[in-house]
Amino acid sequence: MSTLLEVSGISVTFDGFRAINNLSFQIGPAELRAVIGPNGAGKTTFMDIVTGKTRPDSGRITWGDRNVSLLGQSEAAIARQGIGRKFQKPTVFEDQSVQENLLMALAKDRNPLAVLFYRPGARDLERVAALADRIGLGDALLRKSGELSHGQKQWLEIGMLLAQDPQLLLVDEPAAGMTLAEREKTTDILKDAARTRAVVVVEHDMEFVRRLDCKVTVLHEGAVLAEGTLDHVTSNQTVIDVYLGR
């Protein structure tokens, strides 16, 4: 199987604290992966490194068919190459409408001059409307996103990710603060997205991970502790000791 993203042997230290310790990780072009682990295991730092927010002290990150190195590239440049990220806390532009949020995320030329003269055509608006339908916000296009509920904001952010049309989605705790019905819908959206692209989901909630029904990577103290199906990793004695047993 070909790999889309290959992270090998990265380490990063914050003020003497080793947040990531010789971590290696691979994901294929159309794969759903859950990353679990106790607090402080380095899940968010791992995403920060892949998206260019944090520079690792050592290691390599190669991306795509042409094996481009992502190290040293800016966040914006990495995002333009097809890596989308959803934050733990829903971060949508509250002062702007759902439509504006989605239009901004839509995969288009990002340079200022092109954006200044950009006016949405019928096709773009249709695409935005279709995306909004998919995330259950079809009726809320013109509402300010700040008026949306917490769950709807989470979906809007996932919708913005999809609008970016990335090859890899990094999703940090998508189900936090959601009800059961909302979680089910979120699972559907993510599983659907993973049919055409790679999706990495960081999650605490084991029930949610079980529903995703995918390969699981367990992180602990900045390194991979176990990898495999959920049943496989949950029967691993070390995983039980450091994570599940507590």
Partner 1 sequence: MQRSFVARNPSVLVFLALLALFTLTATVLSEGFGVGLISTSFIKTLGKTLCLCLVAIAMDLIWGYCGILSLGHFAFFGLGGYMIGMWLMYERTRTIVESALYEATIPPTEAEVRDAIGNQIFGVVGSSDFPVVWMFADSLAMQLALVVLVPGVLALIFGWLAFRSRVTGVYLSILTQAMTLALSLYLFQNDSGLRGNNGLSGLQNLPGLDAVPQSVVSVWFLWASAAALGLGYMLSAWMMSGKFGSVIRGIRDNEARVRFLGYPVETYKLVMFTVTACIAGIAGALYYPQAGIINPAEIAPIASIYLAVWVAIGGRGRLYGAVIGAALVSLLSTWFTGGQAPDLPLGFYTVQWVDWWLILLGLSFVLVTLFAPKGVGGLADLIADRRSPDRHGADLGPDPGSLREKEAVE
Distance between CA atoms of 60 and 4, rounded to whole angstroms? 14
Residue from 9, 69, 150, 192 touching partner 1 (CB under 8 A): that is 150
Report the nearest approach of partner 1 to the CB of residue 148 (Å).
8
Q: Mark residues 154-173: x for contact with partner 1 by CB under 8 A, - for none.
A: ------x---x---------
Distance between CA atoms of 83 and 79, rounded to whole angstroms? 5
Q: Is-contact 160 102, C-beta < 8 A?
A: yes
Query: Does 2 sit near partner 1 (CB under 8 A)?
Result: no
Query: Does 184 sit near partner 1 (CB under 8 A)?
Result: no
Residues 37-66 that bind partner 1 (CB under 8 A): 51, 53
Closest CA to 167 of 70, 36, 53: 70
Q: Pick between residue 51 and residue 234 the one whose CB is nearest to partner 1.
A: 51
Distance between CA atoms of 85 and 169, rounded to whole angstroms? 6
The H or E element that residue 163 is part of is helix 150-163
Residue from 123, 181, 245, 246 touching partner 1 (CB under 8 A): that is 181
Query: Does 134 sit near partner 1 (CB under 8 A)?
Result: no
Query: Does 151 sit near partner 1 (CB under 8 A)?
Result: yes
Question: First-to-last CA distance in the chain?
Answer: 36
Q: Pick between residue 182 and residue 203 the one whose CB is nearest to partner 1.
A: 182
Residue from 57, 133, 177, 213 touching partner 1 (CB under 8 A): that is 177
Report the nearest approach of partner 1 to the CB of residue 4 (Å).
18
Q: Is-contact 178 185, C-beta < 8 A?
A: no
Residue from 12, 70, 171, 178 touching partner 1 (CB under 8 A): that is 178
DSSP per residue, 126-145:
HHHHHHHHHTT-GGGTTSBG
Q: Strands 198-202 and 168-172: what pairing?
A: parallel
> How many residues lie near partner 1 (CB under 8 A)?
48
Coil vs helix vs strand at 208? helix
For the record, the structure tokens of 16 come out as 């003497």
Query: Does 112 sit near partner 1 (CB under 8 A)?
Result: yes
Q: Is-contact 20 45, C-beta < 8 A?
A: yes
Question: Given the rule CB under 8 A, which residues bind partner 1?
Answer: 51, 53, 74-77, 79-80, 84-85, 87, 91, 93-96, 99-100, 103-105, 110-112, 115-116, 118-120, 125, 141-142, 144-147, 149-152, 160, 164, 177-182
